[in-house]
Amino acid sequence: MSNKEINKVNLKSKFDLINNFWSPKIVAELNGQHVKIAKFKGEFVMHNHQDEDEFFFVINGTLFIELKNKVLELKSGEFVVIPSGIDHKPYSKDEVSVLLFEPKTTLNTGNIHNKFTISNIKKI
Amino acid sequence: MSNKEINKVNLKSKFDLINNFWSPKIVAELNGQHVKIAKFKGEFVMHNHQDEDEFFFVINGTLFIELKNKVLELKSGEFVVIPSGIDHKPYSKDEVSVLLFEPKTTLNTGNIHNKFTISNIKKI
């Protein structure tokens, strides 16, 4: 890769391109992993990822993640790793902006296929 | 893993534990990768990582990354991926707080071994 192709990215300018909730976009790729961003609002589906751990970092807003026996509440500047195989259901009352680290193989709805499933996530 | 062990982390509270510049700490591990945080001030050493791409995300402050033929200036909320094999030298005029995402195998000084090298990075 030429140095000319190495450029910084402003995260807010990427979030400004997102108009839909629960529709993650790829903002960087490295070491077989994706850095994704997404806006969430409302309820997602309970699911798990067989082989992938998932890193959720809240950039703005408040994200709830329901597990089997507790609910995590993440505010701006807080993160969590959801290990592979662990059922989790993200939801939020108001709009929340989230940064994700996860393997390129990760399907947003994991073991569930429904209206939220996006198998061809775009790079922005 | 039990759900009881899955807890959120406040990034600022982790940064508050860091007293030294150029001394990254591990704040999460997933999929063979580390999420690290560090405070930088002054000049680091020009180096590259043979096999690892590196993600730098500026949380607070301004980070400069010198490449062979240009200098990147990243402010709070901006990130860059430095691909494997690319020489880079981070520096900053004032203190800057940075989040890193990179493989567990990554040595902070890459192909260089000097006073900045930390081969046993701690988890906080």
Q: Cβ contact (<8 Å) for A10 and B77?
A: yes
Q: What is the pLDDT of residues B93-114, one digit of tens each?
A: 999 999 999 999 999 999 999 9
Query: Which chain A residue has the Cα nearest residue B14?
Result: A78
Cβ contacts of B88 within 8 Å, gap of 6 or more: B46, B47, B48, B54, B65, B66, B67, B82
At residue A4, the pLDDT reads 76
CA B33 from centre of chain: 12
Q: Which residues of B touch A79 (CB under 8 A)?
A: 8-9, 11, 28, 35
pTM of the predicted model over 0.90: yes
Say how far apart CA A38 and CA B5 lie, in whole Å.
25
CA distance B49 to B65: 15
CB atoms within 10 A of CB B36: 23
- ipTM score assigned to the predicted complex: 0.95
Q: Is residue B4's pLDDT more than 80?
A: no
Is the pLDDT score of B8 beyond 90?
A: yes
Q: Token digits for B1? A: 């893993």
- Cβ within 8 Å, pair B11-A83: no
Contact A53 B30 (CB under 8 A): yes
Torsion angle (degrees, nearest 10) of CA B12, B18, B23, B26: -50
Give residue A31's pLDDT: 97
Q: Cβ contacts (< 8 Å) between B30 and chain A: which residues?
A: 53-55, 81, 83, 101-102
For A10-67, what is each residue's pLDDT tens digit? 999 999 999 999 999 999 999 999 999 999 999 999 999 999 999 999 999 999 999 9
Partner-chain residue, chosen from B1, B8, B80, that has the shortest CB–CB distance to A6: B80
Tokens of A96: 């929340």
